[in-house]
Amino acid sequence: MGTAFHRRDILQGLAALGGCSLLGSALAQPAKAAWPTKPIRLVVPFNAGGATDIIARTVGEALSKRVGQPVVVDNKGGAAGILGTDTVAKAPADGYTLLLSLSTSMLINQFLYTKLPYNPQKDLLMLSQIAAAPVTLVVHPSVPANNIKELLAYVKSHKGKLSYGSWGTGSYAHLAGSYMSKTMEADMAHVAYKGEAPMIQDLIGGQLQLCFSSALNTKPFIDSGRIKAIGVTGRQRMDILPKVPTIYEQGVQDDAYAIFGWVAMGAPAGLPKDIVDQIYGHLREIIKEPKVLERIAGAGFLPLMNSPETFRENYQRDMPVWKALAEAADAKLD
């Protein structure tokens, strides 16, 4: 009896020790750090006040409310978005430095610049395309065209006599204008501006005949009749210009006009999957908020907020088109 009792005590004691050992091992495993435990920096590689900045502040404010930490928008403009994007590409992949930028710095620049300090495909993780950013094609009222086919015919018949503007060398406005000029053998002159506002003023003044520009900048002048809308890029009409048809639906379906830029969120490559999942989970809810949708539409954008997987698929699909446009425009920058 005593022996049995003793044996039972020993077995129970060993079991208890084994449990303690397992518990100790479990306690020794480092627990996953909670995210976020401090403010998040949202880098916008463009100056404050533009459409990208408006979207960044709207999304940042909504994200801050959901995660319970400040989301601080950091405008680091310069060099076509390169400076700010490079800052994020070289930041720790811990979820505390995120990027909100355009397709310019996240995709197109790799085909324009011979020396880019970051490789967007290797150094950035693509989190979500927040919104599609189609643009308007507008002309001076003196141009006798009311649709894209009439405009192309006019451009073709006025070789060497027309000018088109852009908000910078290598921008979509430059690449698309160059594509139009080459395909119509129009020999149009390209005038690059530092931003859209001075470009639109010169279009109104008649120094330019046509340009591609964001609806945020063109809508007031389209409404007042000071410039004329020919169409919009992409395959879907804009909510703020519902009567302006896409170039695509007008029967001109070249990739150069059907493609569109985008506003997207990225992060340093190597961001842990659990943080990626958390961020996308929040973004998926944020896009349902009426205020967010209103701001996106007001900027002339179309809401997307797709998954990292869909973003990557779209990225790979669009890359050859942007590369071909850059090569056709012979737009190489240093």
pLDDT tens track for 180-194: 999 999 999 999 998
Q: pLDDT tier at 333 (50, 70, 90 boundaries)?
A: confident
Where are the domains positioned within the chain?
Answer: 40-132+261-329, 135-258
- What digits encode the pLDDT tens for the residues 251-281? 999 999 999 999 999 999 999 999 999 999 9
What class does CATH assign to 40-132+261-329? alpha beta
Mean pLDDT across 56-84? 94
CATH architecture for segment(s) 135-258: 3-Layer(aba) Sandwich (3.40)
Q: Tell me, what's the pLDDT at 169?
A: 84
For residue 191, what are the β-bridge partners?
Answer: 165
Give yes or no on whether 40-132+261-329 and 135-258 have one common fold: yes
Hey, is 289 helix, strand or coil? coil
Asked whether residue 170 carries a pLDDT value surpassing 70, the answer given is yes
Per-residue exposure over 22-33, b if at least 16 CB sit within 10 Å of its own CB, e if not: eeeeeeeeeeee
Q: Is the pLDDT of residue 32 over 80?
A: no
Nearest Cα neighbor of 172 from 205, 211, 144, 218 is 211
Per-residue pLDDT at 244: 98
Give the Cα separation of 160 and 132 in Å (integer). Answer: 33
Q: Are 104 and 167 in contact (CB under 8 A)?
A: no
pLDDT tens readout for residues 190-206: 999 988 999 999 999 99
Contacts of 303 (CB under 8 A, 6+ apart): 130, 131, 287, 292, 293, 296, 297
Confidence of residue 325 (pLDDT cuts 50, 70, 90): very high
Q: What is the mean pLDDT of the chain?
A: 90
Exposure letters 306-322 (e unless 16+ CB within 10 A, then b): bbbeebeebbeebeeeb
Alpha helices by DSSP H, listed for 31-119, are 51-67, 82-89, 103-106
C-alpha dihedral sign at 90, 91, 95, 98: negative
